[in-house]
Amino acid sequence: MEGAAIATSGLTMRFDDFTAVEGVDLQIEKGELFGLLGPNGAGKSTIIKMLTTMLRPTAGGAVVWGYDIARERDAVRNSIGVVFQDPSVDSQLTGRENLDFHGRMYGMDKKTRKARVHEVLELVDLTEKAEVLMEDYSGGMQRRLEIARGLMHHPHVLFLDEPTLGLDAQTRRYIWQYIQKMNQEEGVTVVLTTHYMEEADHLCERVAIIDQGKIVALDTPENLKDLIGADIITLEVDDGVTDEQVHAFSKFDGVEAVDRSGSTINLSVDHGESRIPEIVLGASKAGVKIRSVSMHEPTLEDVFLKFTGKKIRESESSGAGMMAAFQSRMRTRRH
Amino acid sequence: MARMNIYAIYSLWLREMIRFFRLKSRVFGSLAPPFFFLAFLGYGFRSAAMSEIPQEVNYISFLAPGIIGMTLLFSSTFGGLSMLWDREFGFLREIMVAPVSRISIVIGRTAGGVTTAVMQGLIILIPGIAMGLKISGLGGFLLSLVFMVLIATTFNSLGLAFASRMKDMSGFSLIMNFMVFPLFLLSGALFPISNLPVWLRSLSYIDPLTYGVDGLRGSLVGVSTFPLAFDLAVLAICCAGALGLGAYLFEISDVE
């Protein structure tokens, strides 16, 4: 079939008093592992809900695997698998029963179901746990079963909404492996949302950075980080530093950009290691007192900062209360 | 008319069956109240004379069909409202994102809820018989099954209708206490409604369960206030109305 896996044009979702998603234009290719990165409340989940036909856009539209999300909902639903942000299994059923339920909902006959249940359980290493009740699964196992379930009916596109939210670091690594494996082995197009930069960086072939309902940048993680330059040197300085003194940093060799927020100054620098002595010396000549110096290679966090003027975590604080409530709910459910 | 998805309907029904047979403690828990009503009222009022009950019918024969009606009312309303649990625990989204028409979802859920409710009604029949309920015959028993299905479908659909309009589970106990309990008490399950004062009796007449209980009594024991055909007709109309209402409200409800 011709064309992209997903194409949106001017996709917009307005609720009563605010606009959650505004004029999103996206093209996701077949077979791609694509990430939507942004803070909570940026509109990622709303985009997913529209693409999975759970919400009707208030303006604009989208085509998923050749089908219009508003007019051909059942065809879209047949083409996609969804792993929701919150748990969505029946905890009174076993793993196999949950998969069987799903297969029947998608019209799969008994023989096809049986073979496919076996395949997807193998893929996420849960064959041994097939007959165990979901309520006795750990959080990570439950997530893996949900991924297996999303793949059960051979979808062309699999949506994963915050697939590793609330999981520990080790489990998160495993989930990443499964996602990559199924992207390669099953050839399924994967669209995932995340607010973990390292997840988008590690996993996704292309990343769209989203803030306040709009796409602010879209490229491969490498290209996005290249926008920042080579390295980031972070200086913690005394509060009394003037903007002129800060501006002086931009005159140093190799310094491409200077960015100040409060007592933190970020410098984008080529070959950062070799520039540190120079910068520290220069700073003390200019009368700037440095409390600490650190350096790191650019991350998607820096890209986010560059395009939005804030850190992902800071921009989350507005929705912090909601998020805390949500997380405590997740905890009580997953343990 | 939206298309039917047979596999999906079967899948939803099967899920209710698996859950019913798995959650034995919950089934016993929900059967305890009707059993206690049957046992204590049945023995307690065994020899009390009630002028409106025909001489040849003992109180236990009068009471048992009412208690079966009660069992059906409570378990099927609960079954309809259990959509709230599915929403709370996220499983509703799994159902809603499947390429399945909403009417198929309503049919599958209702079929499951009705089956489990009727099974519970039949379980309550057993102690009733042990205590002295005399069933008039096989034909009467089969007709009572029809009444059981109609009662369960009516209240399962009403439960679904309420669940579709409710955002969370806070209204659950309100419905159970201020809708379900009065429906039970007004239905004449425990005493002849002709004993009630006129103003209360008029409320009984708009309670669908009144006709359900009367129909069960008529088909199982052979004694009824209204002609059985009349009970059947009224209940069938209520059932169709409730089913339509439940399906409509579910159709227009939000998933989130």
CA distances from A181 to A161, A168, A170, B46 (A): 18, 20, 17, 71
B157-167 pLDDT, tens digit per residue, is 999 999 999 87
**Per-residue model confidence (pLDDT) at position A47:** 95
Query: Tokens 């070959």 sit at which residue?
Result: A271
**Per-residue model confidence (pLDDT) at position B2:** 53
Check if B256 contacts A (Cβ < 8 Å): yes
**CA-to-CA distance for A167 and A173, rounded, in angstroms?**
10
B138 within some domain = yes
**DSSP summary character for residue B31:** H
Range of the domain at B42: 6-252
Q: Which of A53, A73, A89 is closest, CB to CB, to B91? A: A89
Domain boundaries, chain A: 6-224, 229-297
Min distance A2 CA to chain B CA atoms (Å):
23
Q: Give Cα B220 to chain centroid, integer Å.
A: 17
**Interface A-B: count of C-beta contacts within 8 A:** 73
Tokens of A4: 């992209």
Check if B205 contacts A (Cβ < 8 Å): no
Query: Tokens 């950075």 sit at which residue?
Result: A209
**φ, ψ for residue A3 (rounded to 5)?**
90, 180
B159 within some domain = yes
The CA-based diameter of chain A, rounded to the nearest angstrom, is 78
Q: Name the strand (E) or helix (H) holding A37.
A: strand A33-37
Say yes or no for a CB contact (<8 Å) between B99 and A78.
yes
B131-164 pLDDT, tens digit per residue, is 989 888 899 999 999 999 999 999 999 999 999 9
B196 within some domain = yes
Tokens of B196: 């009630």
Of B238, B75, B246, B83, the C-alpha closest to B157 is B246
**CA-to-CA distance for A304 and A324, rounded, in angstroms?**
23
**CA-to-CA distance for B113 and A156, rounded, in angstroms?**
34
CA distances from A129 to A81, A178, A180, B11, B96 (A): 22, 17, 22, 22, 26
Tokens of B154: 């009516």
**Per-residue model confidence (pLDDT) at position A328:** 43
**Per-residue model confidence (pLDDT) at position A316:** 57
Cα atoms found within 13 Å of the Cα of residue A294, Cβ hemisphere only: 6
**Per-residue model confidence (pLDDT) at position A296:** 85
Say yes or no for a CB contact (<8 Å) between B95 and A90.
no
Q: Is the pLDDT of residue B50 over 90?
A: no
Residues 6 or more apart from B163 whose CB is under 8 A from it? Answer: B80, B81, B82, B83, B84, B87
The CATH superfamily assigned to A229-297 is ACT domain (3.30.70.260)
- What topology is assigned to A6-224 in CATH? Rossmann fold (3.40.50)
**Per-residue model confidence (pLDDT) at position B255:** 64
% residues pLDDT > 70 (chain B):
98
Q: Which of B10, B91, B256 is closest, CB to CB, to A90? A: B91
3-class secondary structure, A210: strand
Which is it for strands A157-161 and A189-194: parallel, antiparallel or unpaired? parallel
> In chain A, which residues touch B (CB < 8 A)?
49, 52-55, 73-75, 77-78, 82, 84, 86-93, 97, 100-102, 104-108, 149, 333
The number of folded domains in chain B is: 1
Nearest CA in chain B to A107: B7
Instruction: Say if residues A144 and A126 touch (Cβ distance below 8 Å).
Output: yes
3-class secondary structure, A9: strand
Of A128, A57, A49, A35, the C-alpha closest to A82 is A49
Residue A291: is it exposed, middle or buried by C-beta count within 10 angstroms (0-12/13-18/19+)?
A: exposed
**Per-residue model confidence (pLDDT) at position A18:** 87
**Per-residue model confidence (pLDDT) at position A225:** 87
**Per-residue model confidence (pLDDT) at position A329:** 43
pLDDT in tens, chain A (335 residues): 458 999 999 999 999 888 999 999 999 999 999 999 998 888 999 999 999 999 999 999 999 999 999 999 999 999 999 999 999 999 999 999 999 999 999 999 999 999 999 999 998 999 999 999 999 999 999 999 999 999 999 999 999 999 998 888 888 998 999 899 989 988 999 999 999 989 999 999 999 999 999 999 999 998 888 887 778 888 888 877 777 777 778 777 778 788 887 788 888 887 777 888 888 888 888 778 888 888 888 888 888 888 887 776 666 544 444 444 444 444 444 33
Nearest CA in chain A to B8: A105
Which is it for strands A231-237 and A264-269: parallel, antiparallel or unpaired? antiparallel
Of A163, A152, A193, A208, the C-alpha closest to A26 is A208
The amino acid present at B25, given as its one-letter code, is S
Min distance B148 CA to chain A CA atoms (Å):
27
Query: Tokens 């047949």 sit at which residue?
Result: A78
Q: How many CB atoms lie within 10 A of CB A274?
A: 11
Q: Which of A142-151, B22-31, B89-98, B223-232 has the lowest mean pLDDT?
A: B22-31
3-class secondary structure, A72: coil
Say yes or no for a CB contact (<8 Å) between B89 and A91.
yes
The amino acid present at B65, given as its one-letter code, is P
Nearest CA in chain B to A135: B89
**φ, ψ for residue A51 (rounded to 5)?**
-70, -25
**Per-residue model confidence (pLDDT) at position A323:** 45
Q: Alpha-carbon torsion B104, B110, B111, B113, what sign?
A: positive
Nearest CA in chain B to A73: B99
Mutation site for B-interface testing, chosen from A51, A83, A104 by largest number of B Cβ within 10 Å: A104
**CA-to-CA distance for B118 and B137, rounded, in angstroms?**
19
Check if B32 contacts A (Cβ < 8 Å): no
Check if B19 contacts A (Cβ < 8 Å): yes
CA distances from B167 to A91, B75, B85, B90, B203 (A): 22, 21, 11, 13, 29
Helix and strand counts by DSSP (H, E) for chain B: 13, 0
B1 within some domain = no
Min distance B25 CA to chain A CA atoms (Å):
13
**Per-residue model confidence (pLDDT) at position A268:** 82
Compute the average pLDDT of residues B209-235. 95
